[in-house]
A and B are shown apart, each in its own frame.
Chain A
Amino acid sequence: MKNEFTIILPSKGRLREKSLNIFKKKKLKILSAKGERDLIGHVNLKKFKIGARILYLHAREAITELANGTGDICVSGMDLLKDSDPNIQKKIKVYKSLNFGHADLFICSPIHFLDCQTMLDVSEIASDFIKNKKKPLKIGTKYKRLVEKFLIEKNVKNVEIVESKGATEAMCRLSQVQLIGEIVSSGKTLFSNDLRPLKKDGLILKSSAACMVAKKSLNKKGIKKVLSLF
């Protein structure tokens, strides 16, 4: 089949489920030679006379690989796109925001930090921290770029960002950091870990899943037909 496209989908979690639903609703079957755990599949878009390869990757990796040219289209989170390197971002176009994966990126503090409710408090606590403890206030996050930019905008100085690879919510309880910058959807995980978002002015980004397309692939014949699936 001519014009083979590569569509990258999230490899796990709710984003994977909801992305697969898009195909189910269109009655398109994704075939995987090695069963459910196969990271490569195929979907036959007969009516468009197009073949599409499905690649399952981690949502953050999906964006990198889209920019690298491994894929033509991907489903991933807007938060992850905005946090990626500017050189990656400029190679990607957001085709459509999808109605799932809604989450907000917030600065969150332990519930016991009663005095910390706004970013102005964060700024003052950070300044007390450096004055009294001679070390910067630490903020743990998986979203280093976005958090860093946000802190600069809010004129928060004397802060060190600690990159987290997972379980960011546990960092405060382990006293590794004082605050975290984390995605909040229902808020249950935060609550279970004695954390709360700074609702007043700690919102960094409102995010949802999105269908993204590599700018290079926009000239490929048939791309519009494939995009119309989303």
Chain B
Amino acid sequence: MKSKNFSKIIKALNSKGFKNIELDPVIETKYIRGVNLKKYLFTFNDDKGVSFSLRPDLSLMSLIQFSKTKKYNKQKITYSGESYRKNKNIRSQIGWEIYNSNNQKDDYEVIKNSITVFKKITKKKGYLKIGNLELFSSVLNQLHIPSRWKQRLMLNIWNKKYFYEILSRLETNKDYDEDEIEVDKKLFYKMKKLDPNQIIAGRSIKEILARFDLKINKDPRTPEGKKSAKIIKRFLKIKCSIEKAPKILANFFNENKLNIKIADNYFPIKKNKIKNFSVEFCASEIPDVQIYSSLVFSISFKSKKKLTKILNGGRFDNLSSSLGLRPCKAVGAAITLI
């Protein structure tokens, strides 16, 4: 890593108690989540046919490595190195994470250190945007739409293009093929007479019929799809200074009859007292890496009138267990050195 700022950043993080760790250069491909990472992987198989990839992101690597250790107390770690993606080739990254973190104060500590790191790199004004996926999930849970639609929207929020495609389908209530549905209903009654344990292409008739029944009868389309899609779109447009965010969100929830309590931890920074920094709440602040569970944030600077994002972070409490590793709550951030 040749960046002049590299040693400055590491030194600053070490002085705040973050200990250096080394990361493996390759990762088992099964651990990689999200279209934006998967599309650009350098992948290969070992002699047993197991698929590996060059690490596309360091945060994920550090979590996997940490989850395999037997450290159960709070650990502050930092790592650095190159990540490899086909669209960006080699990118130098430095990250800092707090593992086994149950304390919301850790969110603030990671953001505070992110600001310190940013200031080591540039004297330009910083733009800190804070969002929260838990809040988005609460909005979805309050809407009168089938639970499978809630899951679909939550799972695909990372992929903007596809997310809005799904949202437009929710709007028009298009969940199944209307041309086929009548034929399917006839087949449904025929299949009901068959042995429920009979297997068709690896699935039992029982499970096919149960899911079909759920889709058509138990958890069907609702007439509120259009209204719900509108609320989601309006929520994702909320963007305001961090001081005003609780009030604006409360108004939005009242207006749309959403029973959501604005928790304290949604705003690790409540007032913007940081010099040369703009701190905003941005409901659509969602990074392209599908690892976070609640807090998400980014820091950008202005270059040629455009905001350039160089730092991303957030809380990822559920990631390690979703990857089949031991549960490990964590919060962290990483910077890409240009």
Query: Chain A: residues with CB nearer than 8 A to chain B?
Result: 110-115, 117-118, 120, 123-125, 128, 132, 138, 149, 152-155, 157, 172-173, 175, 177-179, 196, 199-200
Contacts and interface: CB of A to CB of B under 8 A. Distances in A.
Interface of B: 33-35, 38-39, 148, 151-152, 155-156, 158-159, 162, 166, 174-177, 179-180, 184, 187-188, 191, 199-203, 205, 207-209, 211-212, 214-215
Nearest to A110: B201
Given A112-B191, A152-B35, A199-B177, 13 more contacts: A112-B201, A112-B208, A114-B187, A114-B191, A114-B209, A115-B212, A115-B215, A117-B177, A120-B175, A153-B162, A155-B155, A157-B33, A179-B201
A124 B177 contact: no
B161 to A, nearest CB: 9
A193 B119 CA distance: 64
A110 B200 contact: yes
Nearest to A133: B202
A115 B208 contact: yes
Given A114-B191, A155-B159, A120 B152 contact: yes
7 contacts: A110-B200, A125-B203, A125-B211, A128-B211, A152-B38, A175-B201, A199-B177
B134 to A, nearest CB: 20
Nearest to A120: B152
Listed residue (A117, A128, A178) with the most chain B CB atoms within 10 angstroms of its CB: A117
A51 to B, nearest CB: 43
A177 B201 CA distance: 6
Contacts, number: 82
Contacts of A177: 201-202
Nearest to A109: B201
B37 to A, nearest CB: 9
A118 B176 contact: yes
Contacts of B187: 111-112, 114
A114 B158 CA distance: 29
Contacts of B162: 153-155
Contacts of A157: 33
> What 9 pairs across the A-B complex have the smallest Cβ distances?
A115-B211, A115-B212, A172-B201, A114-B212, A117-B176, A112-B200, A114-B184, A152-B38, A110-B201
